[in-house]
Structure 1
Amino acid sequence: MLNLSKPKEFDCLASYILEMVTAVKVDQLKPFFDTLPPDPYLTGNYRFRRLSHFQIEGDRLVKLPHRRLFQSKAYNPLLGDVAREYAELDDALIELEDFQKIIWEFFQFCQLCTPHKEVAVHQIRTTATSQQVGNPAPEGIHRDGVDLVGIFSVNRMQIEGGETHLYKDKQGSPAFTKVLNPGELLVFRDDQYFHFTSSVSAIAPEAGERDVFVFTCPGLFPPE
């Protein structure tokens, strides 16, 4: 059961919001990124990913049946028009109160900006080594084709880079630029901002890691 609280104040037409979610203990979430399977749709073996979909029913979080991810080439020139298959989130992660708190935090903004009550949760690790950088957004500056997007940072270890940018248009300077630190949640309206995250580089002989949850409302499904 989700802990309901007063809805947020958020200008869906013109603003983004960045907040530190102090109620979430990110250390509880970190171990679940160690078992992410590689993203089979990218070469280089530097990105790892799971995906699940949830419906908010009153104060309850309901996991939806498995569905594939789909974006058209208009939104994703790299992997557009490909129905992508990803493993579901770990059941033990879904049961964690700290995980459910993040979904509810994001859904409060969904309530203000969209009639949809469905949230897609992308669990993503991007790695980097001394021989290879990691690219969190290989499709470049883009939109996702949803109503609302949220990015929650869980961990940054032995990396530099990975700045998140929001743009009003692809040719202009970013309206927002920041490295998202663990516990920070960035929320923005997808039709108001393009977004991008720069590459990450390792700063130690061991591999570096960037772990995030990306939320969308609604999800992105193949055409019927």
Structure 2
Amino acid sequence: MRIKSYDSGRSAEKLVEAAHGALLSDGAYLMPAAVTTSCLGLEEDAWNRFRTHWEALSTDKYASKRGTRRQRRYGWFSFVAATGQTGLRPQVSFVQPENSNPLYIGVDRSFEPLTESFVADPVFRAVLQLLGRLATALDDAAVWDAKVHPFRVIASAGADGLPTPEGVHRDGVTLVSSLLVGRRNAAGGDSSVVGPKGTPLLTTTLREPGDLLIGDDRRTLHGVSPVRPVDRSRPAYRDVLVVTFAPA
């Protein structure tokens, strides 16, 4: 798939329409950081402020049991298509649906909730609104469930970081997204999207805060290669925000 180039003269509305078209035609789309920032109406330094929430994540004990160093939190929101209204739902266990992540199908996993400051952050609120608009290109559901997962994958000289230890997979939703918030001392972490029969559709490395990869999870599968430290004397970090949308 050829990655569409960014035209700095286009309005945010036109940029969202371009993403809509790519999702419908190709099943996946890479929104470069400059486009994401424009669509969200943010200043570039907003990503540095937003990234501080990743210092308050908790250890993912389920990943640790499989030898993966990962930190995360979790939240569940509603999104009303007609109005764009969002609401935080009560915290419950996270369960992946059938025909999705093979490591955790049917497993109830309990994660620490999103912090109040994260939920109230204007960057997060803008991201949720943007992704809700993109989801409506794929389905005409009146109300959507949005599952929100801030992740930090940690790598060291003795252990690669595994963003997707399950390999290439589906999440069992309609829209899946991965927003890069930051990378430190990290090599690798290449994202790939393939068709149902494994046909490569898109391969990229999210490098700039604001790089956003979105996909139609019903038509595609996705995975991320291991992360390694550039300087092997220091840990490597890959901070992303994964948000999925499915009809409520």
CA-based RMSD of the aligned residues comes to 2.0
Between the aligned partners of 2:162 and 2:197, the Cα distance in structure 1 is 18
Structure 1 match to 2:30: 18
Conserved? CA contact 2:190–2:206, under 8 Å: yes
Determine which of 53, 56, 66 is the counterpart of 1:35. Answer: 56
Name structure 2 gaps, 5 residues minimum. Answer: 1-11
Matched residue SS, 1:32 = helix
Deviation at 1:179, TM superposition (A): 0.7
2:202 corresponds to which letter in structure 1?
F
Conserved? CA contact 1:13–1:192, under 8 Å: no
Deviation at 1:190, TM superposition (A): 0.4
Conserved? CA contact 2:84–2:132, under 8 Å: no
Deviation by residue 1:132-157 (Cα, 9 ceiling, x = unmatched) = 11100011111111011111110011
Conserved? CA contact 1:38–1:45, under 8 Å: no
**Structure 2 length as normaliser, TM-score?**
0.80
* Residue correspondences, number: 215
Determine which of 172, 175, 180 is the counterpart of 2:206. Answer: 180
Between the aligned partners of 1:50 and 1:89, the Cα distance in structure 2 is 6
Structure 1 match to 2:236: 208
1:47 corresponds to which letter in structure 2?
R
Structure 2 match to 1:105: 130
1:42 corresponds to which letter in structure 2?
A
Conserved? CA contact 1:113–1:147, under 8 Å: yes
- Identity among equivalent positions (%) equals 27
Between the aligned partners of 1:163 and 1:201, the Cα distance in structure 2 is 11
Structure 2 match to 1:192: 219
Higher normalized helix content (fraction of residues): 2
Between the aligned partners of 2:247 and 2:167, the Cα distance in structure 1 is 20
Conserved? CA contact 2:99–2:170, under 8 Å: no
**Structure 1 length as normaliser, TM-score?**
0.88
Structure 2 match to 1:61: 86
Between the aligned partners of 2:30 and 2:240, the Cα distance in structure 1 is 15
